[in-house]
A and B are shown apart, each in its own frame.
Chain A
């Protein structure tokens, strides 16, 4: 089934530990995105990638890094987790030929930093 796969679905992480959230899409979309969702704040963009080999910062990039070695994968890394990074993380992808081309979200990773 075409779509976005995120892993893990949930994780409890000790503060100070490193963690990588995985995201894979099989739709051959050029662009990929990472959002975090917090109650009362909606979805906020962390990082994005318009095409393999390029990345950019979103609204809340501090404490996160991404890489885009190929079209399908867009991992998000927390180098040293802090409790304020407790959130639900959503990966998304789109065909950036233009607006309206298949902006799709994954099912999310629920991360708790203790």
Chain B
């Protein structure tokens, strides 16, 4: 079946550094991607999304890059803060699939003060 996976299950960075979290997807028909942040004991929280007709999108301190050629997605967090410590999930959606999301397994980001 189709799958979304992450290259790095854990990432540890120093406060103030930039973080890059990577994600590979295998469904070439996916046309929408979302990054979620999940803090301990809470539900996934929307961070940023990108459609397949774009290759870059920026938000506040976050940037998502999409490379459709190699089916790769990344989340860049600028000036990482302790509050950014969480598990980050990428998710893909095929607009023809009733808008169901397929999630990757998650990357744990730890920010050291």
- Residues on A facing B (Cβ under 8 Å): 31, 33, 35, 40-45, 48, 50, 56, 58, 90, 94, 96, 98-100, 103-108
User: From A56, which residue of chain B is reached at the shortest CB distance?
Assistant: B98
**Tier of interface size on chain B:** 20 to 34
Residues A107 and B105 in contact, CB atoms below 8 Å apart: no
User: From A50, which residue of chain B is reached at the shortest CB distance?
Assistant: B98
Whole-angstrom distance from the CB of A37 to the nearest CB of chain B?
9
Residues A103 and B46 in contact, CB atoms below 8 Å apart: yes
- Which residues on B sit within 8 Å (CB–CB) of A41? 105
- Which residues on A sit within 8 Å (CB–CB) of B42? 107-108
For the complex, what is the distance from the CA of A41 to the CA of B103, rounded to whole Å?
Answer: 9
User: From B90, which residue of chain A is reached at the shortest CB distance?
Assistant: A42
Residues A43 and B103 in contact, CB atoms below 8 Å apart: yes
- Residues on B facing A (Cβ under 8 Å): 31-32, 34, 36, 41-46, 49, 51, 89, 91, 93, 95, 98-106
Whole-angstrom distance from the CB of A101 to the nearest CB of chain B?
9
Residues A108 and B43 in contact, CB atoms below 8 Å apart: yes
Residues A98 and B95 in contact, CB atoms below 8 Å apart: yes
A107 and B43 in contact, given A42-B105, A99-B31, A99-B51 (Cβ under 8 angstroms):
yes
- Which residues on B sit within 8 Å (CB–CB) of A94? 99
Residues A96 and B49 in contact, CB atoms below 8 Å apart: no
- Which residues on A sit within 8 Å (CB–CB) of B103? 35, 42-44
